[in-house]
A = this chain, B = another copy of it.
Amino acid sequence: MRVPPTTLPAEPTHARRFGKARTAQASAVLEDYAELIADLLASEGEARPTDIARRLGVSHATAIKAISRLKREGLATARPYRGVFLTEAGERLAARVRERHRLVVDLLVALGVPAEAAEQDAEGIEHHVSDATLAAFSRFLKAR
């Protein structure tokens, strides 16, 4: 049957949007680990694989593999039985991610989302917020 193609030749626009979302997803896990490690280092003085695993709700084996990936990407180092540390790059990433997380939560709360729902949604949303959107959130919070 295949009706005449009215308008759908290459559609690079939609494809690019989905591709961006996929890329963002790929970095989401590492971002969460970096943010969490920074938090634990700040609040506890150290970031042990076991604590990281418990906070993320995954097995310690899963956490250790992710930490290996962080090391491979040059974001973290680890001393056995001494915990995980962030490299310069890891700290920069963590700082950026923490700030972004805070901004997303603040915006949701400002729009009337209950605190716990805001925290929960932000945990996923944060990884898909571009700089342009982040700037818009910031403007809104400042202006209201």
- Cβ contact within 8 Å between B121 and A128: yes
- Cβ contact within 8 Å between B132 and A125: no
Chain A: interface size category: 35 or more
Copies of this chain in the oligomer: 2
- Cβ contact within 8 Å between B20 and A124: yes
Interface majority SS (helix, strand, loop, mixed), chain A = helix
Is A127 an interface position by the 8 A CB rule?
A: yes
- Cβ contact within 8 Å between B125 and A113: no
Complex CA gap A48/B2 in Å reads 9
Partner of A44, one of B3, B111, B120: B3
Query: B residues within 8 A CB of A129?
Result: 121, 125
Is A87 an interface position by the 8 A CB rule?
A: no
